């Protein structure tokens, strides 16, 4: 397996570039399946999840062209030709690798009125997450049954009728999946308590460009007037807001005082007002300036001291749950105690024992992490990634810890951060990727 080896204590200098949004890229790819023709999507991140989902789509007979080069600064393009679709299935061996593959349920139902999609499995947070997706398809008129680990859905007469669905709780994934199915239904669909995240809005904007009749994007109610078919389009993915937030936190942690670090290719509004306000309260100055093309540049100034700021996650426009692990690391370097509460995934704290191995003084009580602040310096150790955002939090901690930190199982990291070590190397971080023997690695449970 691969690991990242970080020599901590260095300064962050220069700039980092934000890649295309991971959480938007996969829904955009699913939307392309709805069109009878070639859809081209620009600014795609070079991630394992994109490669995996490309293979999921290829199983249906669609042709996917995805040939990223080795230059991390080059925006990538993917083309998906839906004209050759003939097999309306997403098999277990691919879906098990990535839960977002379940978007094929809505995409295949919307395209052909039939779908056979494996249950993802391995979902540990809360009740079975796909239940809300299935209820949404049934609300649109689908007949759904489970058979041998697969969800099989059929639209009577070959096309969904449309209907009314209220999401309880609000869910980004279920909102996207049901929208995929609703846009080609015969009648009107009203979706209430939908997710308002930028990921959903940008995805909906691509559907609109394809000919979908959607109103209410960015609000809690979306109304869809179904159309008979959607058209292939050319579309540009938005920058990754979680990557931007991560880089802002990295800059706050490691930029020398009174020096400026630049983050290019950004869309700061997608962070939401809660994150930017909390970041401002830390006393770390930042400003948004014009960048190249359609995106902005965020400039972060290093400081001598970081103020402690407590946060609580919430659906957009609240503080994103995907940034709570990184924020916890930031607060380990603050001058005083703080708390990090996650109301979305109340047990999403597998990174905490690993941060403790680096010396962080952290205590978990229910859905809240209590952070003592900079009372105890971090020092390098061998730690293990447990999920995507936890893994990047360990990289951030390794950057500010003294000595060497080995972050194991970085295949989690590769799912959501595009060529991270290459970007950090160019910004002055002493970080390399190495292979290791999992069976004999320190820090790995037997």
Summarize the annotated binding site for phosphoenolpyruvate as residue ranges: 22-23
Comparing C-alpha atoms, which of 193, 223, 186 is closest to residue 208? 223
Q: Characterize the bridge pairing of strands 38-44 and 234-236.
A: parallel
Residues sharing a CB contact under 8 Å with residue 330, sequence separation 6 or more, in sequence order: 249, 252, 253, 282, 306, 396
Residues sharing a CB contact under 8 Å with residue 67, sequence separation 6 or more, in sequence order: none
Comparing C-alpha atoms, which of 432, 278, 295 is closest to residue 17? 295
Residue with tokens 């998906």: 80
SS3 state at 167:
coil
- What the block records as the tokens of 257 is 């005082």
The conformation of residue 218, written as its DSSP 8-state character, comes to T
Is residue 123 among the annotated active site residues? yes
- What the block records as the tokens of 40 is 């081209």
The conformation of residue 159, written as its DSSP 8-state character, comes to S
- What the block records as the tokens of 195 is 């997710």
User: At 413, phi and psi to the nearest 5?
Assistant: -60, -40
Burial class (CB in 10 A: 0-12, 13-18, 19+), 292: exposed
Comparing C-alpha atoms, which of 260, 322, 319 is closest to residue 288? 260
SS3 state at 392:
helix
CA 13 from chain centre, in angstroms, equals 26
* Separation between Cα atoms, residue 411 and residue 385, nearest integer Å: 8
Catalytic residue among 73, 74, 121, 123: 123
- Find the length of the chain: 446
- What the block records as the tokens of 35 is 């069109």
Q: Which residues are annotated as a binding site?
A: 22-23, 99, 128-132, 322, 344
Q: Which residues are annotated as a binding site for UDP-N-acetyl-alpha-D-glucosamine?
A: 99, 128-132, 322, 344
Q: Give the H/E segment covering residue 165.
A: strand 164-166
Q: Between vectors from CA 230 to CA 226 and to CA 235, what angle results, nearest 5°?
A: 125
Give the HSE-up count for residue 216: Cα atoms under 13 Å, Cβ half-sphere: 16
* Separation between Cα atoms, residue 406 and residue 4, nearest integer Å: 6
The conformation of residue 20, written as its DSSP 8-state character, comes to B
Q: How far is CA 178 from CA 142, 307, 318, 350, 429, in A?
A: 11, 42, 23, 31, 43
Q: Looking at the annotation, which residues are catalytic? A: 123
């Amino acid at each position: 397996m691969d690991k990242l080896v970080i020599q901590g204590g260095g300064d962050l200098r220069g700039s980092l570039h934000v890649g295309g949004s991971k959480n938007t890229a996969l829904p955009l790819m699913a939307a392309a399946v709805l069109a009878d023709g070639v859809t081209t999507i620009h600014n795609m991140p070079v991630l394992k999840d994109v490669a995996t989902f490309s293979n999921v789509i290829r199983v249906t007979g669609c042709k996917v062209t995805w040939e990223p080069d080795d230059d991390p600064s080059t925006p990538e393009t993917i083309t998906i030709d839906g004209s050759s679709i003939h097999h309306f299935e997403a098999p277990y061996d691919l879906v098990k690798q990535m839960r977002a593959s379940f978007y094929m349920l809505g995409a295949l139902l919307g395209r052909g009125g039939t779908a056979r999609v494996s249950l993802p499995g391995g979902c540990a947070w809360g009740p079975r997450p796909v239940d809300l997706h299935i209820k949404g398809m049934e609300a649109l008129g689908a007949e759904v049954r489970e058979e041998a680990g697969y969800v099989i859905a059929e639209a009577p007469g070959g096309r969904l009728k449309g209907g009314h669905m209220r999401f309880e709780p609000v869910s980004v994934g279920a909102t996207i999946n049901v929208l995929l199915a609703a846009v080609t239904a015969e009648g009107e669909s009203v979706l209430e308590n939908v997710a308002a995240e930028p990921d959903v809005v940008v995805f909906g904007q691509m559907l609109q460009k394809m000919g979908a009749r959607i109103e209410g994007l960015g609000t809690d109610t979306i109304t869809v007037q179904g159309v008979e078919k959607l058209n292939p389009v050319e579309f540009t993915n938005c920058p990754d807001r979680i990557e931007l937030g991560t880089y802002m936190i990295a800059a706050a942690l490691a930029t020398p005082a009174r020096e400026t670090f630049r983050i290019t290719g950004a869309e700061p509004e997608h962070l939401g007002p809660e994150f930017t306000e909390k970041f401002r309260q830390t006393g770390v100055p930042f400003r948004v300036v014009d960048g190249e093309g359609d995106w902005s540049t965020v400039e972060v100034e290093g400081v001598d001291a970081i103020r402690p700021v407590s946060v609580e996650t919430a659906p957009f426009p609240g503080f994103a749950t995907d940034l709570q692990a990184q924020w916890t690391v930031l607060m380990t370097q603050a001058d005083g105690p703080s708390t990090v509460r996650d109301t979305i995934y109340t047990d999403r704290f597998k990174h905490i024992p690993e941060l403790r191995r680096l010396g962080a003084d952290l205590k978990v009580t229910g859905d809240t992490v209590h952070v003592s602040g900079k009372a105890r310096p971090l020092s390098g150790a061998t730690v293990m990634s447990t999920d995507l955002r936890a893994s990047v939090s360990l990289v951030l901690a390794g950057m500010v810890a003294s000595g060497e930190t080995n972050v194991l199982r970085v295949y989690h990291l590769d799912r959501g951060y595009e060529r991270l070590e290459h970007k950090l190397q160019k910004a002055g971080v002493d970080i390399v990727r190495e292979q290791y023997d999992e069976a004999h690695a320190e820090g790995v449970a037997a």
